[in-house]
Amino acid sequence: MSTQIKFGTSGWRAVMAEDFTFANVRRALGGIARYVAAQKKNGARLIVGRDPRFLGETFCSMAADILSAHAITPVMVADPAPTPAFAYAVVQAKADGVINFTASHNPPEYNGIKFSTPDGCPALPEVTKRIEAEIHAAERDAPSPSKRTNGGSATVKESLDVKAGYLKRLAEIVDLDVIRKANLRVCFDPMWGAARGYSDGVLREAGVKVGTVHDYRDVLFGGHAPEPDDHLLTDLREQMRATKAQIGIATDGDADRFGIVDADGTFLQPNYVIALLFDYLVETRGWKNGVAKSVATTNLINAIAQARGVELHETPVGFKYIGELIMQDKIAIGGEESAGLSIRHHVPEKDGVLAGLLCCEMVARRGKSLGEQLKALCNQVGSYYPERQNFRLTPEVKAKFTEKLRSDPKEFSGHKVSKVVRTDGLKLVFEDGSWVCYRLSGTEPVVRVYSEARSERDLEKLSAAAKQWIFE
């Protein structure tokens, strides 16, 4: 029986040699090719690229052959590149989409396929469902998806450099002169990933002093997931101490996520980075058209929106929903607590490179550390303490808890529930402004629990109650 290929919030990902096999990759590529060919009968062009993972070059060659078999011209990107660079390039090149071989921040044994539409957005559910349907249809109608439909002619390819145009665009968005004039010292960790030569490259070109770590290809990513999280940024901190850097910036495997380290070595939660940049963009750009955040992201953003008189949009988890709002120019910035953000007049896709550069600009212009800026912001609008936890569930507990999520509780561990939100999962908002949100994973027996309170002590109590509610 064939593996079911299912595209999630950011494409299809699986463990190599288990589900991410050559046969299954061919099936997935065939489904994408059939979908694109149905949308554009003649002259379709798809960008094909990758992050630095194992066998990426081989998968790109495979994609070129299968696309050509469906009379689609593959536009090949030779070197690993960030996901946001592909998002920018597809619009500039007027291509019909992007096939990006990446598993983003997942561990090195994973790979994946991310499909983006011509507008640079991650494919929305209605598109991925049609691709999945095409995969099934190909197996029913034509068992060999690699069978040529273009008369057997040789593969015709185009090539594309995505780096130069993307970096030029970043230099237009970010005030690099402010960073240079402040003599800001920066350290960068690409985590062996696709942003090597990007974040540091644009800064060095502007005359900024940058130190780097992990600036070489390693398909094992140092033996762990290429995720710019607190516990994986030790080497970045050491480099910061050695160079007396005022900020450390990091990106994940495909550079759509960011990690930020303050001058004193403190890791700044993505929730707080998004809030600070929202406040900063309103202040410096004058953008007040709106702000978006996922349902699981801090209410500090709500408080800033209220104080600044900016409309707030709360979306399901998945950056494609925020990307739609960027496309419609309804927001100045949108972000998710999982370290993804983008801004107005930029790509409708998470951009970890941009996030780091904007943080450098913010520190340089304000002349204060990120911690100092966060403290000042919370003094204005109040303090918020968010947290995320993951819990694995047995089949019995999952079945019972899934049923529980359909309920509308009026009380939760002594808290009166003032609002029940079902934008994504179950979110319970309490009278004191604290909240808890439960989301079941679609790919593993895990429930993700997001909690936020107005003090550290209250968060500790709320987190314990949130866990107890799952298993009681």
Give the domain CATH number at 427.
Answer: 3.30.310.50
For residues 93-104, average pLDDT: 97
**Of 170-179, 181-190, 357-366, 412-421, which range is least confident?**
412-421
**The last residue of a domain, from among 381, 397, 427:** 381
Q: Which residue has the tokens 């997942």?
A: 106
In total, the chain counts a number of residues equal to 472
Distance between first and last Cα of the chain? 38
Q: Which residue has the tokens 């998002």?
A: 87
pLDDT-derived band at 444, boundaries 50, 70, 90: confident
Q: Which residue has the tokens 């004191």?
A: 432
pLDDT value, residue 143: 52
Cα three-residue angle 372-377-382, rounded to 5 degrees? 125
Instruction: Find the CATH number of the domain harbouring 35.
Output: 3.40.120.10
DSSP 138-164: HHHH-S-TTS-SSTTPPPP-EE---HH
Quick check: 9 pLDDT over 80?
no
pLDDT-derived band at 1, boundaries 50, 70, 90: low
Verify that 448 and 416 share a domain, yes or no.
Answer: yes
pLDDT value, residue 157: 87
pLDDT value, residue 6: 86
Q: What percent of the chain has pLDDT over 90?
A: 89
Average pLDDT value over all residues in the chain: 94
Judge whether 66 lies within some domain.
Answer: yes
Verify that 316 and 206 share a domain, yes or no.
Answer: yes
pLDDT-derived band at 89, boundaries 50, 70, 90: very high
**The last residue of a domain, from among 161, 187, 206:** 161
Verify that 235 and 281 share a domain, yes or no.
Answer: yes
pLDDT-derived band at 297, boundaries 50, 70, 90: very high
Quick check: 159 pLDDT over 50?
yes
Judge whether 393 lies within some domain.
Answer: yes
Judge whether 4 lies within some domain.
Answer: no
Q: Which residue has the tokens 């001058």?
A: 263
Q: What is the pLDDT of residues 201-218, one digit of tens each?
A: 999 999 999 999 999 999
Verify that 234 and 319 share a domain, yes or no.
Answer: yes
Quick check: 149 pLDDT over 90?
no
As a whole number of angstroms, the distance between CA 254 and CA 81 comes to: 7
Verify that 183 and 116 share a domain, yes or no.
Answer: no
How many domains are there within the chain? 3
For residues 244-250, average pLDDT: 98
Q: Locate all alpha helices (DSSP H) within 102-219, ordered by sequence.
A: 125-141, 163-173, 176-181, 199-205
pLDDT value, residue 236: 98
pLDDT value, residue 409: 92
Q: What is the pLDDT of residues 390-440, one digit of tens each?
A: 999 999 999 999 999 999 999 998 889 999 999 999 999 999 899 999 999
**The last residue of a domain, from among 101, 130, 161:** 161
Give the range of the structural domain holding residue 110, as residue numbers without chain letter.
12-161
As a whole number of angstroms, the distance between CA 350 and CA 400 comes to: 35
Verify that 118 and 174 share a domain, yes or no.
Answer: no
Distant-in-sequence, close-in-space partners of 144: CB < 8 Å, separation ≥ 6:
none
pLDDT value, residue 150: 45
As a whole number of angstroms, the distance between CA 302 and CA 293 comes to: 9
Verify that 34 and 73 share a domain, yes or no.
Answer: yes
pLDDT value, residue 152: 43
**Of 11-15, 45-49, 145-149, 368-372, which range is least confident?**
145-149
Verify that 310 and 450 share a domain, yes or no.
Answer: no
Judge whether 319 lies within some domain.
Answer: yes
Judge whether 156 lies within some domain.
Answer: yes
As a whole number of angstroms, the distance between CA 327 and CA 220 comes to: 36
Judge whether 423 lies within some domain.
Answer: yes
Burial of 297 (0-12, 13-18, 19+ CB in 10 A): buried
Judge whether 2 lies within some domain.
Answer: no
Quick check: 376 pLDDT over 70?
yes
For residues 318-347, average pLDDT: 96
Verify that 348 and 463 share a domain, yes or no.
Answer: no
Verify that 260 and 376 share a domain, yes or no.
Answer: yes
Verify that 237 and 271 share a domain, yes or no.
Answer: yes
Q: What is the pLDDT of residues 59-83, one digit of tens each?
A: 999 999 999 999 999 999 999 999 9
pLDDT value, residue 155: 65
Judge whether 5 lies within some domain.
Answer: no
As a whole number of angstroms, the distance between CA 318 and CA 297 comes to: 12
pLDDT value, residue 126: 92
Verify that 156 and 207 share a domain, yes or no.
Answer: no
For residues 263-270, average pLDDT: 98
